[in-house]
Structure 1
């Protein structure tokens, strides 16, 4: 099936009052697993490649983007290609020629004024090329190389009034917000601030994005969508499924054939994909 745009999938989900899942792709097996899981769930999905994943692939997005797009086109599911957590302007500019329909441009570590300027510039660049731009306001935290962050610390969460001003000043198409989740959580113990989610949804005219959803319990995710969340990002849960299967197989077998354990890892990630997608409708 031809690639669809992220903006189309998010707009549809928001209009229907449900969520759409965005899954991090690191390897070809990740992309294949998400595509198969989406087919099984009968739901669309966003295949997102982060700046860190690009770095893992030698700093060049071409190969992993082309492979992921090829998987999507061969799938019966409706899938889009998204470039995630981009801080490098050069990588941002690579999004269009590599076939991405959307970019999460992350200037959240900059002071507010610099964040607004950098993000507004990214939005203008995206509009000229038909690329949907997501941004972040607040501190979700938990990414590799960052100082550990308490998601409940004062000043960490996104302020609704500031969010409204930020969206108006930058023109972003979607806003990732800090509401109690954190990246890279391996246990599903995050408690979200649902009153804040509802306030943010009322304050801004664009869809809200939940980063760090791997650490959020099922009931919390469902409630967050009811409160106004739309794009639900999942990464660590796939890696946990992948690594668990590989570790178990290698502990039990003296095999040197990676196909043996990668097939199991891919299937585990596919089941994880399907399970998350069935939470969102």
Structure 2
């Protein structure tokens, strides 16, 4: 069933568990994420990034409609989130396409410009009923808050949230986007400081590179929304490679997309078991 993102995050925060947010690139991703959540028996967030929209020729409507239909038919609560949006035009389309939330990303701007742009986006988003996420701006350069070695300053985080009015804040505590190895180590002391200082829910980006024990500890420490993308693509691509290596004559894409979808669903289930502290082996 399709539900608002803010409701899922608020309930997870109340219970002291995490809620998994997984990147959707194709319809198979959306189906796999919903199936994985159903197998785990927990809610989930389907998120579509601006990069994914660009892959779909800059058209949000088709992939959003597919994700919305998958969410509506799921046996568990599913929310839709538009992720890492830099385009004001795209951000302003979120609500009309069924998204309950959007992450506005002004990290390429300097701090003052980031605050101004994010505050304006938050006002527009709230006017459309959106729950708005953001992250601190050019703390570490081009990669924003998740550049290697960068950490979020609690005082700056408090000021940023107050100045922008965002509903959630992605924080830099040791993870990094697009990691294919699970070697990230998180700063759990900083997570505790941020949780104590910042009133809104905290978000972890780049979670594919974080080992299970680190993710569990991070959620116990106060991180709520846990973003995972690369781990699904690793599972997807591995399954496709295996299927084609097994039979190089295959031309029907269903022959390799089916195992790819299953592999992603299994990765989602394991990851959700970790972030909800319900057991399991975690993301691959």
Query: TM-score w.r.t. structure 1 length?
Result: 0.94
Q: What secondary structure sits across from 2:224 in the alignment?
A: strand
For 1:104-143, list aligned pairs within 5 A. Answer: 104-137=103-136
Q: How far apart, CA to CA, are the structure 1 residues paired with 2:261 and 2:80?
A: 19
2:59 paired residue number: 60
Aligned to 2:44: 45
Asked whether the 8 Å contact 2:110–2:137 carries over to 1, the reply is no
User: How many angstroms apart in 1 are the aligned matches of 2:72 and 2:126?
Assistant: 25
What is the match of residue 266 of structure 2?
Answer: 271
How has the CA–CA distance of structure 1 residues 258 and 217 changed in structure 2, closer, same or farther, with 3 Å as cutoff? same
Question: Which one of 257, 262, 273 corresponds to residue 257 of structure 2?
Answer: 262
> Partner residue of 1:211?
205
1:1-281 equivalence runs, <5 A: 1=1, 3-137=2-136, 151-152=148-149, 156-253=150-247, 254-281=249-276
Change (3 A) 1:33 1:139: farther
In structure 1, distance between residues paired with 2:137 and 2:210: 18
Q: CA deviation at 1:213?
A: 0.2
Count of aligned residue pairs for this structure pair: 274
8 Å contact from structure 1 (residues 123, 133) kept in 2: yes
Q: 1:167, 1:91 → 2: CA distance?
A: 22
Contact 1:133–1:173 (CA<8 Å) still a contact in 2?
yes
Secondary structure at 2:269 match in 1: helix
C-alpha distance in structure 2 between counterparts of 1:38 and 1:62, whole Å = 24
Alpha carbons 1:140, 1:178 under 8 Å: kept: no
Cα shift readout 1:205-242 (whole Å, capped 9, x = no counterpart): 00000000000000000000111100000000000000
Contact 1:188–1:214 at 8 Å: present in 2 too?
A: yes
Distance 2:263 2:139 in 1: 27
The CA deviation at 1:109 is 2.1
CA distances 1:9-34 after superposition (whole Å, capped 9, x unpaired): 00000000000000000000000000
1:95-118, Cα deviation, whole Å (9 max, x unpaired) = 111111100000122111111100
Q: What's the TM-score once normalised by structure 2's chain length?
A: 0.93
Q: Secondary structure at the match of 1:230?
A: strand
Unaligned runs of 5+ in 1: none
The offset of 1:146, in angstroms, is 5.9
SS at match of 2:83: strand
